[in-house]
Amino acid sequence: MRAAEQAAMAAGTSEWELMQRAGRGAAHWVARMAAGRAVTVLCGPGNNGGDGYVIAEELRRQGNHVRVVAPLDPGTATARIAAEAYQGERQEMATRLGDPVVVDCLFGYGLSREVSGEFAKLLELLGITDCFKIAIDAPSSVESDTGKLLGPMVEYDLTLALGAWKQAHFLMPASAHMGALRCVPIGLAIDEGVSVESQRPRIAAPSTDDHKYRRGLLAIIAGAMPGAPLLAAEAAMRAGAGYVKLLSNHSHPDAPAELVVTEQVNEALDDARNSALLFGPGAGRDEAARDILVQVLERRLPTVLDADALHLLDPDMLEGGDVTKLCITPHEGELARLCDAFGVTADSKLDRARGLHDVTGLTVLAKGPDTILVGDGATRFFPRGSSWLSVAGTGDVLAGIVASRLAGHGDPLRACEEGEWLHHEAARLASPAFTAGDLARAVKPAMASFL
């Protein structure tokens, strides 16, 4: 954002013009939410506060009753221009926020220290007030690059990103408190760099001359526990692969008829028709599982590693594999274990995922309520998924979906991105309180929405 703003100003656009664009664009959303009702705007001393004065003046001109609460005078030249342009009511502090809509413009992106004093009191007051709460750019107690909380956190109804998304809009714990998210364009040319908002993929239907092997043979290798790989297989069969085979020494009387189950694990691993492999769900963590993992990596096929495989993986094993063809799907605990194994030291989930990719070359899909995909030099962030995904087995379903997509085209980064979107859509279609089995079966109608 700073680079984009500087480039715009170097090209002749003033900072005041940018502030007016941001404030007026945000005011459009605030006016829609207010629907003629009174609005209080909380303004800080920086340019985010300046945005607030522009919002307040725009609403006042449109006929809304507006007041500004600003504990400090503007501290930047552009914010002072905005404050002078505002013709409405202003007060330094409030003991109550009685208006139906309150807009938080205390601090925007770039906050790096704890919010304290009068500003903390205002946020605490906002938190206990029954009103429609709107955060401008980012909530005022959030570090915009990390999602870390730096003061009292409010449950917002709407957050309006100005100019471009910030990483915190997609990262926990901050994003859980932001309500609905909308981006207000202000005419900046944003260089996305290493941070990219994932775009909804388009999945092509099979070609007219495709057959099951051309669409991809996925081999799922089971281990100590039969349930998890079967869940993965159920999802994989519905996510596009032409042929899904479960390699298992267990009997699976509940396996669907369409799923091929074979006890000839070694022979099936060596099948030249295999397009991709999945290992880890229900694998166990004993020497037998370790041996299978080594064999899987030695095949040097496009492969998804999940669950128990992530507790077994170590640097020596990767020497036998092709990291350009491997993707891993860890939750936060598994991600921390992998970072220990590969010597990655980092505090946040984002930095751990990036560090692990940098050290290993693996494509990393760090799953959770704030899923992060790191690979090919970029980090992709996703819209929030359904909170109903917080149930046992949904990670196995995700692994199956990703592996199925991988079998079709062999690109780990693309498979992870497609898999995450399918996973979210399946959760939406499965309706509340679903099980992992319900989720796996919802992959089929989810696929239809991406064709």
| Residue 162 marked in a binding site | no
Angle between helix 15-34 and 77-85 (nearest 10): 50
| Residue 64 marked in a binding site | no
Structural element, H or E, at residue 183: strand 180-184
| Residue 333 marked in a binding site | no
| Residue 282 marked in a binding site | yes
Distance, CA of 316 to CA of 338 (rounded, Å): 13
| Residue 114 marked in a binding site | yes
| Residue 145 marked in a binding site | no
Closest CA to 327 of 286, 357, 352, 348: 357
φ/ψ bin of 342: left (φ > 0), alpha (ψ from -120 to 50), beta (otherwise):
alpha
| Residue 163 marked in a binding site | no
109 secondary structure, DSSP code? T
| Residue 137 marked in a binding site | yes
φ/ψ bin of 416: left (φ > 0), alpha (ψ from -120 to 50), beta (otherwise):
alpha
| Residue 48 marked in a binding site | yes
| Residue 316 marked in a binding site | no
Tracing tokens 């919010």 back to the chain, one arrives at 115
Distance, CA of 51 to CA of 124 (rounded, Å): 22
| Residue 50 marked in a binding site | yes
Q: What is the dihedral of CA 171, 172, 177, 179, to 10 degrees?
A: 40
| Residue 331 marked in a binding site | yes
How many residues does this entry show for the chain?
A: 451
Phi, psi of 434 (to 5 degrees): -85, 160
| Residue 386 marked in a binding site | no
| Residue 111 marked in a binding site | yes
| Residue 367 marked in a binding site | yes
The tokens for 16 are 């005041």
| Residue 395 marked in a binding site | yes
| Residue 371 marked in a binding site | yes
| Residue 329 marked in a binding site | no
| Residue 240 marked in a binding site | no
| Residue 166 marked in a binding site | no
| Residue 117 marked in a binding site | no
Distance, CA of 154 to CA of 190 (rounded, Å): 29
| Residue 249 marked in a binding site | no
| Residue 286 marked in a binding site | no
Q: Which residues are annotated as a binding site?
A: 47-51, 104, 108-114, 137, 140, 228, 282, 331, 367-371, 395-396
Q: Which residues are annotated as a binding site for (6S)-NADPHX?
A: 47-51, 108-114, 137, 228, 282, 331, 396
Q: Which residues are annotated as a binding site for K(+)?
A: 48, 104, 140
Q: Which residues are annotated as a binding site for AMP?
A: 367-371, 395
